[in-house]
Structure formats: structure tokens, C-alpha cells
């Protein structure tokens, strides 16, 4: 019986970009756990510094 061959699959995204290109287009994700006073102040500070998703700064996830 012949040995099975393995052919790795590539996705369109993986084949169209290099790791270097992905590194420059990656948006950092900031995770805020809890939305109390500290979380609110932190989000306000992000907005004051222009680090909001709308400004292209970072993706923010609040849990």
C-alpha cells in the first residue's frame, strides 16, 4: 500500500501576506476586565490619547 502524502493547505490570507506585512497591519487588542471606576478612567485615558478603534489605535474589549 502506498504511503499517504501530506500537502499543507494555505489560505488566501496566508498566501497573500508575509509575516512582515501582517506585523505592520496588526491592531493591538486591549482587554479591560470590569467596568468600574478604574475601567472607566482607563477607557477615558485611552480616548484622550487617541488610542480608540475609531482613531485606528487599538481594539478594546471590555469584559
Q: What does each C-alpha distance from 31 to 4, 7, 13, 28, 58 come to in angstroms?
A: 44, 37, 25, 10, 10
Higher pLDDT, 26 or 47: 47
Q: Where are the alpha helices (DSSP H) in 1-63?
A: 12-16, 19-25, 37-48
At residue 39 the predicted structure's pLDDT band, cuts being 50, 70 and 90, is: very high
Q: What pLDDT shows up at residue 44?
A: 92
What average pLDDT does range 6-26 have in this prediction?
A: 58
What pLDDT score was predicted for residue 37? Answer: 94
Please say if the pLDDT value at position 36 is more than 90. Answer: yes
For residue 51, the model assigns a pLDDT of: 83
Query: Residue for cell digits 478603534?
Result: 53
For the chain, percent of residues with pLDDT exceeding 70: 60
Amino acid at each position: 500500500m502506498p504511503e499517504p502524502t501530506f500537502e499543507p493547505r494555505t489560505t488566501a490570507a496566508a498566501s497573500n501576506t508575509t509575516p512582515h506585512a501582517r506585523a505592520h497591519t496588526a491592531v493591538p487588542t486591549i482587554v479591560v476586565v470590569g467596568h468600574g471606576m478604574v475601567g472607566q478612567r482607563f477607557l477615558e485615558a485611552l480616548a484622550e490619547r487617541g488610542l480608540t478603534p475609531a482613531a485606528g489605535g487599538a481594539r478594546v474589549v471590555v469584559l
